Amino acid sequence: MSEDQLSLVPGKKKRVKAPVPIADNLPIAQILIDSPLPHLDRLFDYAVPAKLDEIAKPGIRVRIRFAGKLTDGWLISRSAETDHEGVLASITNVISSEVVLLPEILELARSVAARQSGVLSDVMRNAIPNRHAGAEETVLPTLPEIPQMETPAWTDYVGGAALIRRSIDNQQPRAIVTTGGDNPAQLLAEYAQSVASANQGVIIVVPDRAAIDRVLVALAQAGCPRDAVTTIAADDGPAKRYRNWLAALHGSAAIVVGTRNAVFAPIKNIGAICVWDDWNDSFADPQAPYWHARDVAVLRSAQQDTALVFIGATMSVETFALMPWLAHVSRTREQQRELSPRVRSALDDSADKMNPAARGARIPSLVMQTMKVALAKGPVLVLVARTGYTPRLVCDQCRLPALCTACKGPLTETERSSAPTCHLCGHIESTWSCPKCKGSRVRATVVGSTRTAEELGRAFPGIAVRNSSSDHILRDVDSRPAIVVATAGAAPVAQGGYAAAILLDGNSMLSRPDLGANQETYAKWNECVSLVSGDGEVVVVADSEHPAVQALIRHDPAGFASREFEQRTQVQLPPAIRLAVLSGAQTDIDDVIEMAAFSEEVEMRGPVPGKDGQVRMLVTVEKQSGLKLAETLKAVTAARSAKRKGAQVNVRIDPPTI
């Protein structure tokens, strides 16, 4: 039959015509269209042309014509029948014959979309990287044999040996491992190689590139062959990322180390999923449907019967909420205190007695004394809250925020004695005056890392001062005396550990109006404490009575997580409940709520005014009703999208920040 003839597709209800000869066996393909529109988040039937019969397999990328335009899609399945009544369009062509969408990854992506009230194709874009034709032509190496090894780093961990043994035996243990001052990279390397040596795949999800490098170094030191490990990271180029992803798909690598999206990696015979520092905000995807790598790891572990390990210096309140489904593995409290550096507050009662003025100082005298002693032994880490020189200025007289006269943006200082400069447009205010009190002088309310480094350099002449922040991150420093000023997440690793750590701006970090302010600050502090040698000292400049400071002094991450969870339970916030945040115009949110027709068990708080006339509504339910809430909101947004009714309402399920 020629190409221009019409052939018949056997249908369940009637025979359907297609414009080209179609396949004899299973001629109907169910296609998921790559579209963010909620009402298109379903499968569409297309005819399979006879010429594409052999390569049109479930799991491949295809191109189809939808609404008059060529559109990418996923071939999900094939069948012999269709419910479609009318002319059935056919698949235009196959983008690649590589089967990249595995059934278990599709199931996981569907669960993530359902949990987050999102669109499946949005999840698929995160789960599977963009195709690169050159990468598909690469000859992948054969998986080398992974030797068994001892696990000395786990020796003193209560439950550590059982965790490794049960993981090797494929008994699917799940645990939270708090490492204290130990190196999580070394623990992960020993665990991953032990599991991989038993012919099981391991996924290690880490916050950033620095953590990837630390794990790779630890694996190399443990004797793991480099060809057995592949990386999947957002900052890799498209060719390298897709090639490494294919290595996991085809079984050329047994261990995947990567950032957020690596949690979807199609590793062969998966046996364990590990997440390092799950509290880190880099694990939360900033685009719809706003999934979190921690939640995806939990879903995947449950669906695919794998071991699950959350590891880090602290314990997040979200993982604490999963106990006792997750077991707690750590050193004993006595061992932890013995091996960890001493932690004290610069604002406790004893410090107040020695220097009453210290409470109002950003760098109290106790900090300077501690640094002087520690610099005789090695490097000192100084953690600050903000980068830059003086990132925030106010009027010296009335404390009104200093704003740019050109665009009303915030004014900052880029260096000492420089004129105030607009952070947004770069306008230099050489003759600024306060519109309220007419004052002409400004003062700093926040001091950044650059100015802190400058001040400490003057206080300790002859000592090298190094700066590590988001615009220039140091990976490591040697053991020579030096002052390392770093922002959170940018602290380098010191050879042999730091002699001391100074945690500045504690009260401002803890007082941020954010749901996770306490947890994030405490976790970042713990991260710095873990970089200090066991005989070192840590001084935190924050109120000594704050629960986060007390937990830091006691080296008690589990106690802090328990207290945070109790407080969130009292105010009905995640993870104690399931929360949906609706953002948009008031009329559109009212329309969504009316269409949803929530039951009495649903509690609504708001609306709260936001920017540009937008409002925010909080919708909460008990955890067991969370999936039902997400499904209801998904159905409502799909219905409104199909009718083009009003503007879109943004839906976020359990956001990390509020």
Residue 136 lies inside a defined structural domain of this protein: no
Amino acid at 431: T
- Look at residue 315 in the predicted model and tell me its pLDDT: 95
Residue 40 is encoded by which pair of tokens?
Answer: 């298109």
Tell me the CB-side half-sphere exposure of residue 149, using CA atoms within 13 A: 26
* Confidence category of residue 258, pLDDT binned at 50, 70, 90: very high
Q: Which residue has the tokens 């059935």?
A: 88
Rounded to 5 degrees, what are φ and ψ at 309? -130, 120
Q: By the 8 A CB rule, do 327 and 173 touch? A: yes
Cα gap 604→208, rounded to integer Å: 37
- Look at residue 14 in the predicted model and tell me its pLDDT: 45
Does 543 lie in the same domain as 493?
Answer: yes
* Closest alpha carbon to 463 in 371, 547, 350: 371
pTM as predicted:
0.89
Q: Which helix (H) or strand (E) element contains residue 247? A: helix 238-249
Residue 462 is encoded by which pair of tokens?
Answer: 């002859």
CATH of the domain at 623: 3.30.70.1710
Does 203 lie in the same domain as 75?
Answer: no
Find the range with the poorest average confidence among 148-152, 437-441, 496-500: 437-441
Does 246 lie in the same domain as 201?
Answer: yes
Those residues with Cβ within 8 angstroms of residue 620's Cβ, 6 or more apart along the chain or in another chain: 572, 577, 578, 579, 580, 602, 603, 604, 605
Residue 125 lies inside a defined structural domain of this protein: no
Long-range contacts of 510-518 (CB under 8 A, 24+ apart): 510/542, 510/543, 510/546, 510/548, 514/657, 514/658, 515/573, 515/574, 515/656, 515/657, 515/658, 516/279, 516/281, 516/656, 516/657, 518/547, 518/548, 518/564
pLDDT in tens, 202-224: 999 999 999 999 999 999 999 99
CATH of the domain at 218: 3.40.50.300
Domain end call among 67, 99, 131: 99
489 vs 357: which has the higher pLDDT: 489
Does 92 lie in the same domain as 30?
Answer: yes
| DSSP-derived secondary structure letter, 353 | H
Residue 18 has pLDDT above 70, yes or no: no
Residue 132 lies inside a defined structural domain of this protein: no
Residue 435 lies inside a defined structural domain of this protein: yes
pLDDT in tens, 362-376: 889 899 999 999 999
Does 597 lie in the same domain as 467?
Answer: no
Does 159 lie in the same domain as 93?
Answer: no
Cα gap 264→283, rounded to integer Å: 13
Quick one: what percent of the chain has pLDDT higher than 90?
A: 71
pLDDT in tens, 24-76: 899 999 999 999 999 999 999 999 999 999 999 999 999 999 988 999 999 99
pLDDT in tens, 525-581: 999 999 999 999 999 999 999 999 999 999 999 999 999 999 999 989 999 999 999
Does 546 lie in the same domain as 592?
Answer: no
Residue 12 has pLDDT above 60, yes or no: no
Other beta carbons less than 10 A from residue 277's beta carbon: 24
* Confidence category of residue 353, pLDDT binned at 50, 70, 90: low
As to burial, measured by CB atoms within 10 angstroms (0-12 exposed, 13-18 middle, 19+ buried), residue 99 is: middle
Amino acid at 136: E
What's 250-319 look like in SS3? Answer: CCCCCEEEECHHHHHCCCCCEEEEEEECCCCHHHECCCCCCCEHHHHHHHHHHHHCCEEEEEECCCCHHH
Question: What does the pLDDT average to over 380-398?
Answer: 86
Does 428 lie in the same domain as 369?
Answer: yes
Q: In angstroms, what CA-CA distances link 638 with 72, 399, 472, 584?
A: 20, 48, 44, 16
Angle CA 178–180–183, to nearest 5: 95
Residue 156 has pLDDT above 80, yes or no: yes
> Over the range 67-82, which residues count as b (16 or more CB within 10 Å of their CB) and which as e?
eeeebbbbbbebeeeb
- Look at residue 429 in the predicted model and tell me its pLDDT: 82
* Closest alpha carbon to 127 in 59, 81, 62: 59
| β-pairing verdict for 615-621 and 603-609 | antiparallel
- Angle between helix 547-554 and helix 517-529 axes, rounded to 10 deg: 30
Find the range with the poorest average confidence among 127-131, 134-138, 368-372: 134-138
Does 357 lie in the same domain as 242?
Answer: no
113 vs 150: which has the higher pLDDT: 113
Q: In angstroms, what CA-CA distances link 60 with 128, 241, 268?
A: 11, 18, 18
pLDDT in tens, 499-516: 999 999 998 899 888 888
No. of helices (H) and no. of strands (E), the chain: 19, 30
pLDDT in tens, 419-455: 888 878 888 888 888 888 888 888 777 788 888 999 9
Quick one: what percent of the chain has pLDDT higher than 70?
A: 95
| DSSP-derived secondary structure letter, 243 | H
Residue 490 lies inside a defined structural domain of this protein: yes
* Closest alpha carbon to 121 in 289, 338, 320: 289
CATH of the domain at 67: 3.40.1440
For 392: left if phi > 0, alpha if psi spans -120 to 50, otherwise beta; the answer is beta
Residue 126 has pLDDT above 50, yes or no: yes
- Look at residue 3 in the predicted model and tell me its pLDDT: 37
Cα gap 506→508, rounded to integer Å: 6
Cα gap 453→294, rounded to integer Å: 36
Residue 520 lies inside a defined structural domain of this protein: yes
- Look at residue 537 in the predicted model and tell me its pLDDT: 96
Cα gap 502→282, rounded to integer Å: 24
Cα gap 506→540, rounded to integer Å: 7
Residue 2 lies inside a defined structural domain of this protein: no
Find the range with the poorest average confidence among 72-81, 238-247, 402-411, 555-564: 402-411
Residue 493 is encoded by which pair of tokens?
Answer: 């690793």
Domain end call among 74, 99, 124: 99
Residue 371 is encoded by which pair of tokens?
Answer: 């640094």
Helix, strand or coil, per DSSP, at residue 26 = coil
Mean pLDDT of the chain: 90
- Look at residue 355 in the predicted model and tell me its pLDDT: 60
Residue 228 is encoded by which pair of tokens?
Answer: 């057995």
- Look at residue 7 in the predicted model and tell me its pLDDT: 42
Strand partners, 466: 484
Q: By the 8 A CB rule, do 392 and 445 touch? A: yes
Find the range with the poorest average confidence among 71-75, 309-313, 359-363, 590-594: 359-363
- Look at residue 351 in the predicted model and tell me its pLDDT: 56
Residue 147 lies inside a defined structural domain of this protein: no
* Confidence category of residue 389, pLDDT binned at 50, 70, 90: confident
- Look at residue 350 in the predicted model and tell me its pLDDT: 62
- Look at residue 400 in the predicted model and tell me its pLDDT: 85
Residue 1 has pLDDT above 50, yes or no: no
Does 358 lie in the same domain as 298?
Answer: no
Domain end call among 335, 370, 392: 335
CA 633 remoteness from chain centre? 24
Q: What residues make up the domain containing 281?
A: 152-335
CA Rg value for the chain: 28
296 vs 11: which has the higher pLDDT: 296
Most confident of 174-188, 385-399, 405-419: 174-188
Does 373 lie in the same domain as 483?
Answer: yes
Does 584 lie in the same domain as 518?
Answer: no
Residue 11 has pLDDT above 80, yes or no: no
Q: Which helix (H) or strand (E) element contains residue 238? A: helix 238-249
Q: How many domains does the chain have?
A: 4
